[in-house]
Amino acid sequence: MKDTLTTDEQVASAIAAAKARDTVNDIYYVACGGSYALMLPNQYVMDREATSIAGHALNAAEFKARAPKRLGENSVVILCSHSGNTPETVEAAKIARAAGALTIALTNDPGSPLDEASEYVVYYEHEPKKISPNHSPAVLARLSFGILNAREGNAKAAKVEAALKALPPIMDAAVEAHGDRIATFADSHKREEVIYTMASGTNYATAYSYAICIFQEMQWIHSAAIHSGEYFHGPFEITDYDVPFILLMGLGASRPMDERALAFVQTYSDKVTVLDSKELGLGAIDAEVVEYIEHMAFSTLLRVYSDKLAFSRGHPLTVRRYMWQMEY
C-alpha cells in the first residue's frame, strides 16, 4: 500500500506515527556515505531546536556496532539509502524495528529491501543538479521539523516548508549566474591531486559529502572535509599557496567560524574557491531557517561544479574502479 501515497502523504504519515508515540527521547539518523552526510544537518536541527529529543547521526555499521542502549520504543530511527539496497542500512532498519523503535526510511526505489524492512517509507525524487521539496535532504528536513512540530509545537516547521518551496528558483538562477566561475574552476583545478573542502554548521555535511563522494570516489582526487572551527587547531598548517580549498560560507549561526577561516585561507593559499550563501541569493530565505536549508543549495550548485570538473579532467563521474565492479 505504501507506494500508492503521494510524497506529501508519505511524509505526513510518518510524522503522524511519531506524534502517536507516547514518548520520543531520541532520533537516530542512520545511513552510509553520501546518505549519511545528509543526516548530519538533522542532528544539527535537533541540537538547535529540540527540547525533548536528542539527535544522533551514525554510519549504519557503526549504529549496529554501537547498539545504542537507549534504542527502543522511545526512539525514532530515520534511515536513507538511494538504492534501498545498502546492506548495513537495511540491517540497521531491522535492528531498530526489532527494538521497538519507529522506523522511517527514505529511498529512491520502492519495493527495495530498505522499503521492506522499514515501517514507514518516503520515496524521494532525485535529480542531482536540482533541488525540490521532494528531494532527499529536503524530505529529511521536513521529517525533522515535522516531528519537532508534532511533539513540541516547533513554530519553524512551517517556515522550513516555505523555504524549501522558495529554494528551487533561487538555485536555478544561482547555477545560471555561476556559469563563468564554474568553467574557471574546472579549468584551473583539472590537474590538482588534492582539494580540501571546508565548512561548519549544516554545511559541514555538504563539505564531507563532496570530499568523499565527489573528490575521492568519483574523481580519485585526495580530499578531506575540514570543519571551519577545527581548521585553526591543526589542519591550517597544511595550507600553502598551491593547496586548493573550497570554502562554503553559511548564513547561519556558524558564519563567524567560516569568516575567520576565509580570512586566513585566502591569505596563505592562492587557490581558494568561495561559495557564499549571500551571493547565491539565499538572503531571500527567512533568516530564522536559512541555516537549515543552505547545505542543500551548496550541494546543488557543487554538483554542477563537479560535472564541469569531470569533463575538464576527462574523468566521467560515473567511472569506478571498485564500486559495482566486484564484491567487497
Please report whether residue 253 would count as binding its own copies according to CB under 8 A.
yes
230 near its own copies (CB under 8 A):
yes
> In the set 12, 17, 21, 62, which binds its own copies (CB under 8 A)?
62
Q: Which residues pair with 57 in a beta bridge?
A: 29
Three-class SS state of 56: strand
Task: Find the binder of its own copies among 224, 279, 312, 313 (CB under 8 A).
Answer: 224
Cell 529529511 maps to which residue?
140
CA distance 187 to 247: 18
Nearest approach, Cβ of residue 220 and its own copies (Å): 6
Three-state secondary structure call for residue 190? coil
Binding mask 123-162 for its own copies (x = CB under 8 A): ----------------------------------------
Measured on CA atoms in the order 275, 202, 113, 219, is the torsion positive or negative?
positive
Looking at beta carbons only, is 208 or 305 nearer to its own copies?
208
* Interface pick for its own copies out of 235, 281, 286, 313 (rule CB under 8 A): 235
How many helices (H) and strands (E) in the chain?
12, 9
Provide, rounded to whole angstroms, the least separation between the CB of residue 176 and its own copies: 29
Select from 88, 115, 161, 192 the one that contacts its own copies (CB under 8 A): 88
161 versus 192: smaller Cβ distance to its own copies: 192
CA end-to-end span of the chain: 34
Q: How many CA atoms lie within 13 A of 299 on its CB side?
A: 29
The site map against its own copies for 157-196 (x = CB under 8 A) is: -------------------------------------x--
Q: Does residue 296 touch its own copies according to CB under 8 A?
A: no
Cβ 190 vs Cβ 313: under 8 Å:
yes
Helical segments of the chain, H only: 7-20, 33-49, 60-66, 87-98, 113-117, 136-152, 157-177, 179-188, 203-209, 219, 255-268, 290-313
Burial of residue 119 (number of CB atoms within 10 Å: 0-12, 13-18, 19+): middle
Q: How many residues bind its own copies (CB under 8 A)?
A: 67
Distance CA 284, CA 146 (A): 23
Sheet with strand 75-80: strands edge to edge: 54-59, 26-31, 75-80, 102-107, 120-123
Nearer to its own copies, 171 or 282 (CB): 282
Closer to its own copies by Cβ: residue 106 or 174: 106
Q: How far is the CB of 234 from its own copies (least distance, A)?
A: 4
Grid cell, residue 299, equals 550541494
Q: Binder to its own copies among 227, 295, 303, 308 (CB under 8 A)?
A: 227
Q: Which is nearer to its own copies, 60 or 289 (CB)?
A: 60
Residues within the interface to its own copies (CB under 8 A): 26, 32-34, 36, 44, 47-51, 54, 56, 58-62, 65-70, 86, 88, 194, 200-201, 211-213, 216-218, 220-225, 227-230, 232-240, 252-254, 256-257, 260, 264, 268, 320-323, 328
